[in-house]
């Protein structure tokens, strides 16, 4: 996500040489990314709930060892299920 924001900001800065409003848009994008985009602490403070679907995207680092173990065990369960499904074909 950071790469997309940085690339977009660079594009807006380059376009800003023709229209200065793009510079304001670049500053606003960086401000919003810094305030809300980088690991929203309100949602990750409680940590992942055991048994919840986490999707295929990598999640943020676990907040405790218990959360780490829960995620590790979930991943191992998925890998065993995948191996069973692939082995049966």
How do residues 39-83 score in pLDDT, each as one tens digit? 654 444 444 444 444 455 556 677 889 999 999 999 999 999 999
Contact 38, 10 (CB under 8 A): no
Note the pLDDT of residue 8: 83
DSSP assignments along 52-70, one per residue: ----SSPPPPPSSHHHHHH
Question: What span, in angstroms and rounded, lies between the C-alpha atoms of 76 and 81?
Answer: 9
Note the pLDDT of residue 50: 46
Kindly report whether the global pTM for this prediction surpasses the value 0.85: no
Note the pLDDT of residue 45: 46
Question: Which residues, 6+ apart, have CB-to-CB distance to 62 below 8 Å?
Answer: 47, 48, 68, 70, 71
Note the pLDDT of residue 12: 87
Residues 1-33 have pLDDT tens digits of: 678 888 888 888 888 888 888 888 888 888 888
């Amino acid at each position: 996500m950071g790469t997309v924001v940085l690339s977009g900001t660079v594009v807006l800065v380059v376009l800003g040489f023709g229209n200065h409003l793009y510079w304001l848009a670049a500053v606003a994008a960086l401000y919003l990314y810094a305030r809300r985009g980088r690991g929203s602490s309100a949602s990750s403070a409680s940590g992942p709930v055991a048994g919840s679907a986490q999707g295929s995207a990598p999640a943020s680092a676990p907040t405790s060892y218990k959360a780490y173990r829960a995620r590790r065990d979930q991943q191992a369960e998925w890998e065993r299920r995948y191996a069973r499904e692939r082995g049966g074909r």
